[in-house]
């Protein structure tokens, strides 16, 4: 009796999961693991949808080079264990030829450890670029976003020096390793440039009130504050500083939420330093993006999907160069030697070589709200930084 029951329960459980996705000959199977829900979804769900929209449009237009893309999407909730099981599913069941991650840095480790073992390349298209993609780059790992804790810090400090060369700088980080590492790096650069540091404040993930952290930065004499962490944390730090009457400038990372939020906050002292273009510019590139979103009828803010859109462009270009062999190996070979035109959504191209899976040159722009024009403005146009 028992056995039969359990067996029944088990087959029931087994049918729960979706069957394997079978690839046609002219189809490239790509796995997308994204934080579509959970605490980080506010940042990553939109870019992931943007990427999907781009790929859908590619397929509707008949694919690239005669190849269509079958995009397998699993939600990882920004959670490491879920990402691990997504990775297993991609590799053992869906037989993907490429994995794309649009999720938190917490999900990188499980994906990297599994995909590299199977020789399947990973494209990080939503979040910070892991150190493994910088020179000397690990094989198989590529990053198309402009977020790099080290380079963002360099660009932030550089711009800060242009504005005010002898400001005392405070740093606001979140208690996750990658944010702390970024701010430590920024402090080193600041000290190396003979500027003064007001110290790094690290807020634990469950912080209820950022005021005490802000107070400490203010009392240490911070005239400018750099922040590099998830948007929700950066902005709460900034709020807490302003609430205490602090009048300095804050420089924060340019995340997916940035443009929409800055238009709401309307504070000219809040600068974002990053490598994506903003939608308000109304350039050819952004017009195309907005038109595509409008046309699709999907409920998405164009401002929030730029990184996902760029991820789509990368896929298009990589597949365009791909020959008849659509194996993971062949895709990796194309990716390790390619230059991708970012079509005006970035300052320059994305160029990957054997040794560099990030960029040889990265361009940063600084944006802020302008009280004079009552609109967003470019505080400083693209500036190139070499990646060593």
Q: Which of residues 184-223 bind another protein (CB under 8 A)?
A: 201-213, 215-216, 218-219
CA torsion angle 318 323 327 330 (round to 10)? -70
Shortest distance, CB of residue 149 to another protein, whole angstroms?
8
Stretch that binds another protein, among 8-16, 347-355, 359-367, 372-380 (CB under 8 A): 8-16
Instruction: Please give the residues from 238 up to 277 whose contact with another protein meets the rule CB under 8 A.
Output: 239-240, 242-245, 257, 261, 264
Q: Is 108 in the site for another protein (CB under 8 A)?
A: yes
Among 8, 81, 165, 191, binds another protein (CB under 8 A): 81
Among 232, 296, 349, 370, binds another protein (CB under 8 A): 232
Among 68, 70, 103, 104, binds another protein (CB under 8 A): 104
Shortest distance, CB of residue 348 to another protein, whole angstroms?
26
Considering beta carbons, is residue 2 or 25 the nearer one to another protein? Answer: 2
- Three-state SS annotation for the chain: CHHHHHHHHHHHHHHHCCCCCCCCCCEEEEEEEECCCCCCHHHHHHHHHHHHHHHHHHHHCCCECCEEEEEEEEECCCCHHHHHHHHHHHHHHHCCCEEEEECCHHHHHHHHHHHHHHCCCEEECCCCCCHHHCCCCCCCEEECCCCCHHHHHHHHHHHHHHHCCCCEEEEEEECCHHHHHHHHHHHHHHHHCCCEEEEEEEECCCCCCCHHHHHHHHHCCCCEEEECCCHHHHHHHHHHHHHCCCCCEEEEECCCCHHHHHHHHCCCCEEEEECCCCHHHCCHHHHHHHHHHHHHCCCCCHHHCHHHHHHHHHHHHHHHHCCCCCCHHHHHHHHCCEEECCCCCCCCCEEEECCECCCCEEEEEEEEEECCCCEEEEEEEEEEEECC
Instruction: Please give the residues from 109 up to 138 whose contact with another protein meets the rule CB under 8 A.
Output: 109-110, 112-114, 117, 130-131
How many whole angstroms separate alpha carbon 152 and alpha carbon 8? 55
Instruction: Please give the residues from 26 up to 45 whose contact with another protein meets the rule CB under 8 A.
Output: 36-42, 45
Among 55, 64, 73, 140, binds another protein (CB under 8 A): 73
Q: Is 298 in the site for another protein (CB under 8 A)?
A: no
Shortest distance, CB of residue 298 to another protein, whole angstroms?
11
Considering beta carbons, is residue 65 or 211 the nearer one to another protein? Answer: 211
Q: Is 10 in the site for another protein (CB under 8 A)?
A: yes
Among 27, 65, 80, 321, binds another protein (CB under 8 A): 80
Shortest distance, CB of residue 176 to another protein, whole angstroms?
7
Q: Is 8 in the site for another protein (CB under 8 A)?
A: no
Instruction: Please give the residues from 82 up to 101 whose contact with another protein meets the rule CB under 8 A.
Output: 84-85, 88-89, 92-93
Instruction: Please give the residues from 49 up to 68 whose contact with another protein meets the rule CB under 8 A.
Output: 49
Shortest distance, CB of residue 49 to another protein, whole angstroms?
8
Considering beta carbons, is residue 97 or 342 the nearer one to another protein? Answer: 97
């Amino acid at each position: 009796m028992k056995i039969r029951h359990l067996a029944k329960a088990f087959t029931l459980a087994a049918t729960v999961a979706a069957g394997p996705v079978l690839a046609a000959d002219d189809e490239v199977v790509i796995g997308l693991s994204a934080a579509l829900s959970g605490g980080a979804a506010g940042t990553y769900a939109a870019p992931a949808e943007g990427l999907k929209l781009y790929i859908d449009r590619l397929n509707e237009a008949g694919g690239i080079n005669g190849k269509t893309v079958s995009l397998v999407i699993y939600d990882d909730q920004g959670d490491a264990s879920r990402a691990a099981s997504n990775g297993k599913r991609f590799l053992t069941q869906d037989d993907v030829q490429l994995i794309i991650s649009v999720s938190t840095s917490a999900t990188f480790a499980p994906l990297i450890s599994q995909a590299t073992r199977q020789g399947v390349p990973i494209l990080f298209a939503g979040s910070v670029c892991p150190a493994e993609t910088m020179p000397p780059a690990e094989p198989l790992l590529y990053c198309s976003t402009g977020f790099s804790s080290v380079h963002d810090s360099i660009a932030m400090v550089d711009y800060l020096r242009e504005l005010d060369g002898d400001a005392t700088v405070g740093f606001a980080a979140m208690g996750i390793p990658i944010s702390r590492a970024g701010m430590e790096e920024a402090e080193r650069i600041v000290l190396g440039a003979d500027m003064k540091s007001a110290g790094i404040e690290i807020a634990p993930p469950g912080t209820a009130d950022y005021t005490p952290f802000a107070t400490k930065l203010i009392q240490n004499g911070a005239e400018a504050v750099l922040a590099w962490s998830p948007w929700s944390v950066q902005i709460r730090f900034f709020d807490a500083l302003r609430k205490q009457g602090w009048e300095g400038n804050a420089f924060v990372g340019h995340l997916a939420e940035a443009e929409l939020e800055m238009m709401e906050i309307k504070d000219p002292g809040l600068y974002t330093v990053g490598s994506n273009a903003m939608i308000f510019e109304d350039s050819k590139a952004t017009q195309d993006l907005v038109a595509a979103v409008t046309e699709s009828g999907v409920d998405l803010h164009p401002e929030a999907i730029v990184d996902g859109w760029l991820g789509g462009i990368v896929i298009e270009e990589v597949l365009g160069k791909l020959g008849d062999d659509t194996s993971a190996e062949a895709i990796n070979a194309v990716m390790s030697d390619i230059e991708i035109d970012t079509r005006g959504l970035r300052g320059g191209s994305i160029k990957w070589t054997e040794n560099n899976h990030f960029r040889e040159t990265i361009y940063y722009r600084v944006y802020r709200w302008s009280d004079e024009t009552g609109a967003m403005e470019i505080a400083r146009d693209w500036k190139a930084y070499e990646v060593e």
